[in-house]
Amino acid sequence: MQAAPALALEHITVTFVSEGAARFTAIRDATLVVRPGEFVSVVGPTGCGKSTLLNIAAGLLTPSAGSVRVFGEPLAGLNRNSGYLFQTEALLPWRTALDNVTIGLEFRGLAREVAVRQAEGWLLRVGLRGHGHRYPHQLSGGMRKRVALAQTLILDPQIILMDEPFSALDIQTRQLMENELLELWSANRKSVVFITHDLEEAISLSDRVVVLSAGPEARPIGEYEIDLPRPRDVAEIRLTPRFIELHTKIWQTMKQEVLKGYEQQKNQ
């Protein structure tokens, strides 16, 4: 018997109803299934519903229709098997880097010394040894992302949900972080849902890329297995013929949607 998928979003529809505004169906009949240990990226134009889909997976939002299963069990409330890396900065400014990393363990009731020891291990793993005493405003953007990564991974989630985590970084820092993410992930393969609007980033990181259509009523319109060898260097893999072949193929599907998304935003 096959193991249950880590995450199964099936026939998901999300309609937002806000007072004084028309109903808005952001997602219509979307299905996304992620296997244990699989790295899946979801790409799509801005505003199409990527964050909304991730919020459904995290249990932060209940779909208007459709089902969410986590390791075969229907999801009720928050998805406790998942860790969430937000699109925006989510560190607490009044806590040091170290104390930001210990937060989750403290909520779980671990003794302070145990939490601190584990957090120091994670700061080391994300390349921040000796920076634990600094506050978020004393760290660079890349360093803050590393703290956020440690904050998420320390809880050892079975499913890691990432919403454009590196999009605010410069390209070199971004590629460094992507390589580090792949290294951390391959040491201890968890399921990852990685949201991005950047097709190159999606291909270089993933086992599979899912393309969402432009909204409203966004849904997956293409799924592509990425058969590039691992371990990968995200900068170098982009220069290989197979990468270019995959990129060309997926871009054919994505191009129209990006144009549509852009037009819609202009007319809003």
Ligand X SMILES: Nc1ncnc2c1ncn2[C@@H]1O[C@H](COP(=O)(O)OP(=O)(O)OP(=O)(O)O)[C@@H](O)[C@H]1O
Q: How many CB atoms lie within 10 A of CB 37?
A: 16
From candidates 59, 104, 142, 215, binder to ligand X by CB under 6 A: 215
Residues 6 or more apart whose CB falls under 8 angstroms from that of 87 comprise 51, 163, 164, 165, 167, 195
Q: What's the closest the beta carbon of residue 49 comes to ligand X, in angstroms?
A: 4
31 near ligand X, judged by CB under 6 A: no
State the binding partner of 5 from Mg ion, ligand X, none, CB within 5 to 8 A by kind: none
How far is residue 238's CA from residue 55's CA, in Å, rounded to a whole number? Answer: 30
Phi, psi at residue 208, to the nearest 5°?
A: -150, 140
SS3 90: coil
Q: What's the closest the beta carbon of residue 211 comes to ligand X, in angstroms?
A: 12
Q: Nearer Cβ to ligand X, position 26 or 70?
A: 26
157 near ligand X, judged by CB under 6 A: no
Residues 6 or more apart whose CB falls under 8 angstroms from that of 81 comprise 6, 70, 71, 157, 158, 159
Q: Nearer Cβ to ligand X, position 17 or 187?
A: 17
86 near ligand X, judged by CB under 6 A: no
165 near ligand X, judged by CB under 6 A: no
Binding residues for Mg ion restricted to 25-84, rule: CB under 5 A: 51
Q: Are 238 and 200 in contact (CB under 8 A)?
A: yes
Q: Nearer Cβ to ligand X, position 16 or 262?
A: 16
Q: What's the closest the beta carbon of residue 24 comes to ligand X, in angstroms?
A: 5
Q: Are 248 and 200 in contact (CB under 8 A)?
A: no
How far is residue 108's CA from residue 9's CA, in Å, rounded to a whole number? Answer: 28
Q: Nearer Cβ to ligand X, position 16 or 251?
A: 16
- Exposure letters 127-148 (e unless 16+ CB within 10 A, then b): ebeebbebebeebeebbbbbbb
Binding residues for ligand X restricted to 45-84, rule: CB under 6 A: 46-52
Q: Nearer Cβ to Mg ion, position 51 or 158?
A: 51
In 3D, which of 126, 144, 142, 125 has the Cα closest to residue 134?
Answer: 144
Question: Mask: binding to ligand X, 216-255, rule CB under 6 A, as x and -?
Answer: ----------------------------------------
Q: Nearer Cβ to ligand X, position 240 or 256?
A: 256
SS3 76: coil
Q: What's the closest the beta carbon of residue 114 comes to ligand X, in angstroms?
A: 36
| Number of separate helices (H) and strands (E) present in the chain | 8, 10
Q: What's the closest the beta carbon of residue 209 comes to ligand X, in angstroms?
A: 15
Binding residues for ligand X restricted to 109-148, rule: CB under 6 A: none
Binding residues for ligand X, total number by CB under 6 A: 15
Contacts with ligand X, residue ranges (CB under 6 A): 16, 18, 24, 26, 44, 46-52, 87, 197, 215
